[in-house]
Amino acid sequence: MTVSVAVAGASGYAGGEVLRLLLAHPEVEIGALTAHSSVGDLLGEHQPHLLPLADRVLEPTDPARLAEHDVVVLALPHGASGALTAALEAIDGPTPLLLDCGADHRLTDPAAWDAFYGGDYAGAWAYGMPELRHAGEPGPARAQREILREARTVAVPGCNVTAVTLALQPGVAAGVVRADDVVAVLANGYSGAGKAAKTHLLASEGLGAAMPYAVGGSHRHVPEIEQNLAVAGATGVRLSFTPTLVPMSRGILATVSAPLADASTSAAEVRAAWERACADEPFVHLLPAGQWPTTAAAVGSNHTVLQVALDERAGRVVVVAALDNLGKGTAGAAVQSMNLALGLPETLGLPTTGVAP
């Protein structure tokens, strides 16, 4: 099987990483590469690391052109994909498999969209986190990967959301932690903010400094994390979420804590819950006891690397998660979801090793 894949937003960071992964994917032929302000430029001017595609010309983001493909990956700013995908779906003929790396189709609650994004609500698509488990439904817990196998439209999760959800889900699903007092503090690389120039992201200000942002519960990923934890079986979710920019280009290190549901739970029982949840996951890796995740261990790979500990004095479980915001945090999740929706092996073409030092 060879599938043709178009990438919209090919000049951006997320689009560039999608292309890097697709170049190594054995079943993919890369089709149209589209952009916005850089239409007409060569891809090599914007993505110098993607040498095999350096001579490709960036095309306008035209729904009819995108519709010529088997798969379309959208890596556009928030709010840009809703109208575009509506136009794409209205075109006669089979609609391509659509994967949206932006936020437009992630939230199932229109009120949450209004509160944190605003503008037209585009509806919710199949959520592109194969590891998410639906605990709240009758019958055995269903993994999101089963839903993705049937999906034709996929909303790729936010990168911070992936780190916090994969960190805490094992404890929520096992009933080991309560989710009514979750605290997440993250160190974030600059590429998470995208390529568009932002004054607070000047190298002269960011190099050598750590800078918190979206403090006080205003970050757009709060409702998405709450949504995921509720799917995993949590009730009454309350989350304090604080990201911090640190001088690295890629990577997220999330430190997430939550109170023990039962104060008598031992450290061994806590660890056992995470071991069970991670055992069969190809891209969620629990380190041996005593080792701690670093962003360097995850950058370049599709892994989320975890460690869990019990803080007995505080009565809280502490989980540290590291991932590559552009890898498992975006492009890797898009390709993993694409594989499932196309009936391919879930792990096909996805890197399992990082880049170090």
Question: Which residues participate in catalysis according to the annotation?
Answer: 159
Contact between 196 and ligand NDP by CB under 6 A: the answer reads yes
Beta bridge partners of 211: 245
DSSP state, residue 96: P
What x/- string results for residues 161 through 190 when contact with ligand X2W is judged by CB under 6 A? Answer: ---------------------------x--
The entry of ligand X2W, ligand NDP, none that residue 237 binds, CB within 5 to 8 Å by partner kind: none
Of 29-37, 105-113, 306-314, 334-342: span binding ligand NDP (CB under 6 A): 29-37
Query: Of 49, 78, 152, 198, which one interacts with ligand NDP (CB under 6 A)?
Result: 78
What x/- string results for residues 91 through 130 when contact with ligand X2W is judged by CB under 6 A? Answer: -----------xx---------------------------
Contact 25, 349 (CB under 8 A): yes
Q: C-alpha dihedral over 91, 94, 99, 102, to 10 degrees?
A: 10
We find the least distance from the C-beta atom of residue 142 to ligand X2W, in angstroms, to be 25
Contact between 47 and ligand X2W by CB under 6 A: the answer reads no
Question: What number of chain residues touch ligand X2W (CB under 6 A)?
Answer: 11
Of 32-40, 121-129, 231-239, 291-299: span binding ligand NDP (CB under 6 A): 32-40
The entry of ligand X2W, ligand NDP, none that residue 12 binds, CB within 5 to 8 Å by partner kind: ligand NDP
Q: Where are the beta strands (DSSP E) in the chain?
A: 3-8, 28-35, 59-60, 71-74, 97-100, 126-127, 133-134, 142-143, 153-155, 182-188, 211-212, 239-245, 252-259, 284-286, 304-311, 316-323
Contact between 158 and ligand X2W by CB under 6 A: the answer reads yes
Query: Of 18, 75, 148, 229, which one interacts with ligand NDP (CB under 6 A)?
Result: 75
Residue 347 neighbours by CB under 8 Å, 6+ apart: 282, 283, 336, 339
**Residue from 253, 254, 278, 272 nearest 310 by CA:** 272
Q: How far apart are CA 249 and CA 299, in angstroms?
A: 10
Query: Of 11, 47, 337, 339, which one interacts with ligand NDP (CB under 6 A)?
Result: 11
Helix (H/G/I), strand (E/B), else coil: 187 = strand
Contact between 198 and ligand NDP by CB under 6 A: the answer reads no
Contact 160, 188 (CB under 8 A): yes
Q: How far apart are CA 302 and CA 51, in angstroms?
A: 22
Q: How far apart are CA 254 and CA 103, in angstroms?
A: 20
Contact between 314 and ligand NDP by CB under 6 A: the answer reads no
Beta bridge partners of 185: 242, 255
Q: How far apart are CA 143 and CA 173, in angstroms?
A: 12
The entry of ligand NDP, ligand X2W, none that residue 75 binds, CB within 5 to 8 Å by partner kind: ligand NDP
Beta bridge partners of 5: 30, 71
Q: For ligand NDP, give the closer residue by CB, 96 or 158.
A: 158
Residue 93 neighbours by CB under 8 Å, 6+ apart: 67
Contact between 99 and ligand NDP by CB under 6 A: the answer reads no
The entry of ligand X2W, ligand NDP, none that residue 160 binds, CB within 5 to 8 Å by partner kind: ligand X2W
Half-sphere exposure of 150 (CA within 13 A, CB side): 4
Of 140-148, 187-195, 231-239, 271-279: span binding ligand NDP (CB under 6 A): 187-195
Contact between 192 and ligand X2W by CB under 6 A: the answer reads yes
Q: Give the distance, in angstroms, between the CA of residue 302 and the centroid of all CA atoms in the same chain.
A: 10
We find the least distance from the C-beta atom of residue 316 to ligand NDP, in angstroms, to be 28
Q: For ligand NDP, give the closer residue by CB, 159 or 273.
A: 159
What the block records as the tokens of 219 is: 């970050």
Contacting residues toward ligand NDP, per CB under 6 A: 9-15, 35-38, 61, 75-78, 80, 101-102, 158-159, 191-192, 194-196, 325-326, 329-330
Contacting residues toward ligand X2W, per CB under 6 A: 102-103, 158-160, 188, 192-193, 221, 243, 245
